[in-house]
Amino acid sequence: MSQRILVILGHPSSTSFCSALTDTYITSARTAGHEVRVLRLGDLTFDPILHHGYNQTQSLEPDLLNAQSDILWANHLTFVFPIWWGGIPALMKGFIDRIFLSGFAFKYRKGKAFPDKLLKGRTAHLLVTLDTPAWYYRWFYRMPALHQMRKTTLEFCGIQPIKTLQFGPVLGSTPAQREQWLKQAGALFGKRTFHVHRQSRATVGHNHQSDSSL
């Protein structure tokens, strides 16, 4: 079944490994017959800072209004981002702060402790790069960015994460190893089938040698 997929690149650089993962994912999805739109956050024009928190309305820039329209259009979201200081990049956090707003992504109702999930019915992939070995990030750091994205962001709004791939350490990786990771991302659309898996924490590769471009 054809899906409407929105890919969101959370890395600000178009020359990063995250960007290469994004390109591979998009190509594979389109080859499999899916409709794909892409948001490269580094190319958007918006203020990532909530200057008054959520106490005042901060008008959305045109790029953010378009991003909300793309999210409503999609039935599947894919976030591609690096782990920086254990968390998601500031640009991506600011993007989420600005557009996943009450009345769009969720809505509290009087007398209810938990909000309505306004983006319910959508699924998500997370493609994540990191320089820390994935096993160490999981067992010693307890994966704060993945919990933030999966539990307190996506599931909070009704989006079901169905697959998480971690690629790394990118620091020290070889071209052959990075090529293998790209194939792993593209394989999500093998045999023209949109793969809906249970939650996965796939770890691909470890201990490599190269500069870190995540």
Q: In angstroms, how far apart are the furthest CA atoms of the chain?
A: 56
Whether 195 maps to a domain, the answer reads: yes
CA-closest candidate to residue 61, choices 52, 70, 73, 48: 48
Q: What is the pLDDT of residue 155?
A: 98
Whether 34 maps to a domain, the answer reads: yes
Number of structural domains found in the chain: 1
Q: Tens digits of per-residue pLDDT, 37-51?
A: 999 999 999 999 999
Residue ranges making up the domain that contains 144: 4-204
In this structure, how many other beta carbons lie within 10 angstroms of the beta carbon of residue 74? 23
* Phi/psi at 127 (5° precision): -115, 115
Torsion of CA 37, 167, 172, 84, to 10 degrees: 70
Whether 210 maps to a domain, the answer reads: no
Instruction: DSSP letter for 74, please.
Output: -
Whether 213 maps to a domain, the answer reads: no
Where the chain has pLDDT below 50, the residues are 196-212
Whether 211 maps to a domain, the answer reads: no
Q: Global pTM? A: 0.89
Whether 192 maps to a domain, the answer reads: yes
Q: What is the pLDDT of residue 201?
A: 36
Whether 212 maps to a domain, the answer reads: no
Whether 184 maps to a domain, the answer reads: yes
Assign residue 35 the CATH number of its domain. Answer: 3.40.50.360
Q: What is the pLDDT of residue 136?
A: 86
Rounded to whole angstroms, the Cα distance separating 71 from 119 reads 9
- Axis-axis angle for helices 17-31, 175-186 (nearest 10): 40
Q: Roughly how many angstroms between the first and final C-alpha of the chain, as a whole number?
A: 32
